[in-house]
Structure 1
Amino acid sequence: MTLDTSPKPKKVSTLGNNQKTLAKAATISGLGLFTGKRVQMTFRPAEENTGIRFQRIDLEDKPILPAQVQYVRGTPRCTVLGKDDVFVQTVEHVLAALSAYEIDNLLIEIDGPEIPICDGSAQPFVDLIEEVGFGYQKTSKKVYHLTSPVFWSQGDVHIVALPSDEFRISYTLNYPNSALLRAQFHTISVNEENFKMEIAPCRTFSLYEETVPLIEQGLIKGGSLENAVIIKGDAILNPEGLRFPDEMVRHKILDLIGDLSLVGCSFFAHVIAIRSGHFSNTAFSKELLNHIMMESS
C-alpha cells in the first residue's frame, strides 16, 4: 500500500493580508433607477469582522441590512436585500466595487430604498473608494479556497465554480434575438486594477422593446440614456456609443461580482457563467455558501 503524503489544498488561508475598511466617510447621491427618487448614500468606516451593511437612515430605528445572500428578497431586474418590510434595492454595482477593492467592513447609510444608479456602471463608486483610500485593520483576512466544483443550472442558464488559485470570472452572454448580443465572452482575474480598467466603466443595458413597456408602466422611473445602454435592433441608441465593443458582457461580469459578494466571505474560485442574471447569480451564491459552510465544518 502506498501512503499519499502529497500536500492537501488549503481550505482557508490569510495570504498575509489584513481586513480593510475605508479611511474616512464619503458621500454620493443620485437617482434610483427604478424608483426615480433622489437618494444620498454615505460610506462609513466600520469595525473589524462587521462585514458590509446597509442602513436605512430615513426609517424609524434606522434598520440595518447585512449584505448577505440570506437577505435577498427578490431579483426584479436588480438585486434586492430585505428583512420584514425594510429593503434596499439595486445593490449589485456598489457591492461589485467594494468586492473588487477587497473592502471587508463598511457601513453604507442610505436615505431611501434604492442605491443611486449614477451612470449605470460601478465607476462612480470606484472613484469614491479611490478618493478616500483604505483603512487597514489589525485582524487577518480569511480567504476560502474552493477544493471541489459547485454547480447550478436551470434551463439554458449555467454557473459552475471550480478550484483555482485566484478569483476569476468567465462569462458567456447570448441573446439569440439580438445581433449585438450574440455570443459575447469575457474572462477576468478579479482584482482592483483589472476591475477598474475592464469592468467598472461598463453600464447596465436593456433592449428597447423591453424597456419602453416598463417605463410606460412606471416600473423604471429613473432610467435614461444617461444611465443605461439601450439597444434597438442592430443599433445603440446612446449618442456616445459603447465604452467597449463588448460592454454588455463586461457589465454582466460586474453584476455577477456584486451578487457573488453576498456569499459574505472572500474566496478563490474560477466562476464560469452562461447567460446568468440576478436570480441565478444569487441562487448560485446560496449554493456556494452552503458548500463553503459544509467544507469548513
Structure 2
Amino acid sequence: MKQRTIAKSVEIVGIGLHKGVPVKMRLEPLDSDMGIVFYRSDAGVTIPVKREFVVDTKMATVIGKDDVVVSTIEHLLSAVYAYGIDNLRIIIDNDEVPVLDGSSSGYCMLIEEAGIKELEKSKKAIKIKKEVEVTTPEGKRVCLKPSNRIVYDFKIKFDHPAIGEQDFHFDYSIEEYKENISRARTFGFLHEVQYLRSIGLAQGGSMENAIVLDQSKVLNPEGLRFDDEFVRHKILDAVGDMALLEYTLVGEYDAIAGSHHLNHLLTKKLYEDESNYEIIDLEEANSEAKVFELAYSKVEA
C-alpha cells in the first residue's frame, strides 16, 4: 500500500468559529514523506501537524510555531486522517480553520472533489503494542489498546435531558466515517456561548454551525441529525486529534468523557516508551494492509 495525497488543489472560504472572520483555505498535494503541514500565508510560517507543536487544547486543538498559531484544526484533520491522506499542505490566511457547518462533512466533500492520488513510497502506520491510558480523578479516561483493526469507542454522560448517557462504536472505514461520523456537529450550551462571546470568543458560532442547547432542549429548529449526534461528534474530534500521531492508527481508541486535552496527553504518553508502539510498513505488513484496503475500497469503488 502506498502513501496518499490529493490529486489536485482545492479552495474554500468559510468563517472561523471564534473570531467570526472569513478565512480562505487551500489544500495542496505534497510528495511522499512530507507529512501534513499548515502554512499561514499571512505570516509566512509553516507549522507541521505534530504533537510537539500543540500549544493549546482548552477549547479546540491549536498548533503553533514562532508565535503564529492555527486553531480549531480537529474537524479538518479528522476528515484528512479518515481518508488516509499522508501528505498535504493546508494554506490559510488567518489563525483559524473554517468551521463550515460544525461537522467534517464539508471537508469530506472537498477531499472527494480534489480526488486521492497514490504516491511512490509505501504507507506507514503506527500499531499499538501495549495499552496506554490517561485518566483524571473525575473518572475521565482515554486509552489506546492493541488491535489488528481500527476501532473507536466513546462514552459520554451529561446531566441534560437532550443528551444523557450515550456511547458509540465506530469500526473504521471511509464509508462508515462519511455516513455515521462526519455529519455529526459540534455542540455547546447557550450559557457557555454567551460567556465565550463576552470574552471575545465564539464570534462566528451560530445554529448554522453548531448544536446549541438551553437548559432543557436543543434550540436548532431542524433538530438533530442523529439521536446520538453528541457522542458521534466526540469520535469525530478524537479521529482528528489522533492525526497528531503522524501515522495512521492500527489499534483501538477508547474514551469515557474524553477531550482534546486528554487526547493530546495520550499521544504524548504513547511516544514516551518505544515499547508501546511499532511503526509498520504497509507494503510489508500484509494483514494490516488488508484492513486498510478494505476500509478504503468501498467509498472509492
* One-letter amino acid of the counterpart of residue 152, structure 2: I
| SS at structure 1 position matched to 2:206 | coil
- Residue 143 of structure 2 corresponds to residue 151 of structure 1: no
8 A Cα contact 1:229 1:238, kept in partner: yes
Query: Superposition pairs for residues 133-152 of structure 1, below 5 Å?
Result: 133-152=115-134
Match of 2:149 among 159, 166, 171: 166
TM-score where L is the length of structure 2: 0.89
Letter in 2 for 1:204: T
Per-residue CA distance 1:42-62 (angstroms, 9 max, x = gap): 000001001100000011xx1
Highest CA radius of gyration, 1 or 2?
Answer: 1
Aligned amino acid, residue 30 of structure 1: G
1:27 and 2:11 aligned:
yes
1:293 Cα deviation (Å)?
7.2
How far apart are the structure 2 equivalents of 1:146 and 1:277?
Answer: 20
Structure 2 residue aligned with 1:124, among 106, 129, 132?
Answer: 106
In the alignment, the residues of structure 1 paired with residue 266 and residue 51 of structure 2 have an alpha-carbon distance, to the nearest angstrom, of 10
Is 1:50 the counterpart of 2:34? The answer is yes
Cα drift, residue 103 of structure 1: 0.2
Task: Give the whole-Å Cα distance in 2 for the aligned partners of 1:106 and 1:292.
Answer: 27
Number of the residue aligned with 2:68 = 86
Alignment partners' CA distance in 1, 2:256 and 2:73: 22
Give the distance between the partners of 1:53 and 1:125, measured in 2 at CA: 16
- TM-score normalised by the chain length of structure 1: 0.91
Matched residue type, 2:113 = E
Q: Equivalent residue of 1:119, what SS?
A: coil
Q: C-alpha separation between the residues in 2 aligned to 1:81 and 1:53?
A: 10
C-alpha deviations, 1:109-141, integer Å up to 9, x for none? 001100000100001100001112111101011
1:233 Cα deviation (Å)? 2.2
Cα distance in 2 for residues equivalent to 1:296 and 1:252:
26
CA RMSD of superposed structures (Å):
1.4
What is the match of residue 67 of structure 1? Answer: 49
Most deviating of 97-106 and 157-166: 157-166
Greater shift in the superposed pair: 31-40 or 153-162:
153-162
- Work out whether 1:242 is the aligned partner of 2:219: no
Secondary structure at 1:259 match in 2: helix
* Residue 255 in structure 1 maps to residue 252 in structure 2: no
Q: Please tell me whether residue 18 in structure 1 is matched to residue 2 in structure 2.
A: yes
- Cα distance in structure 1, aligned partners of 2:49 and 2:34: 11
CA distance in 2, matches of 1:159, 1:180: 24
Once the two structures are TM-superposed, the CA of residue 217 in structure 1 deviates from its matched residue by 2.6
Match of 2:285 in 1: none
Hey, what's the Cα distance between the residues in 1 that align with 2:227 and 2:81? 25
Quick one: structure 1 residues 295 and 249, their matched pair in 2 at CA, closer, same or farther if it must change by over 3 Å? closer
- Counterpart contact for 1:73–1:81, Cα < 8 Å: yes
Distance of aligned partners of 1:94 and 1:291 in 2 relative to their CA distance in 1, 3 Å threshold: farther
Conserved in 2, the CA contact under 8 Å of 1:69 and 1:263? yes
| SS of aligned partner of 1:183 | strand
Could you tell me how far 1:144 is from its partner in structure 2? 2.5
Q: Within 1, Cα distance between the matches of 2:169 and 2:28?
A: 32
Cα deviation, residue 84, structure 1: 2.5
C-alpha deviations, 1:53-110, integer Å up to 9, x for none? 0000011xx1100011111000131110011211000000000000000000000000
- State the AA in 1 paired with 2:76: V
Post-superposition CA distance 1:160-211 (Å, at most 9, x none): 1111111110000112x21222210001012211110000011100111211
Q: Equivalents in 2 of 1:174, 1:294: separation in Å?
A: 30
Contact 1:29 1:39 in 2 (8 A): yes
AA in 1 matched with 2:66: D
Match of 1:11 in 2: none
Report matched runs for 1:206-245 at 5 Å: 206-245=188-227
Distance of aligned partners of 1:294 and 1:161 in 2 relative to their CA distance in 1, 3 Å threshold: closer
**Residue identity matched to 1:98:** V
In 1: Cα distance, 2:215 partner to 2:135 partner: 29
Structure 1 residue 269, shift from structure 2 partner: 0.8
User: Does the 8 Å CA contact 1:150/1:291 hold for their aligned counterparts?
Assistant: no
Residues of 1 paired with 2:168 and 2:80: CA distance? 21
Q: Distance in 1 between matches of 2:103 and 2:271?
A: 26
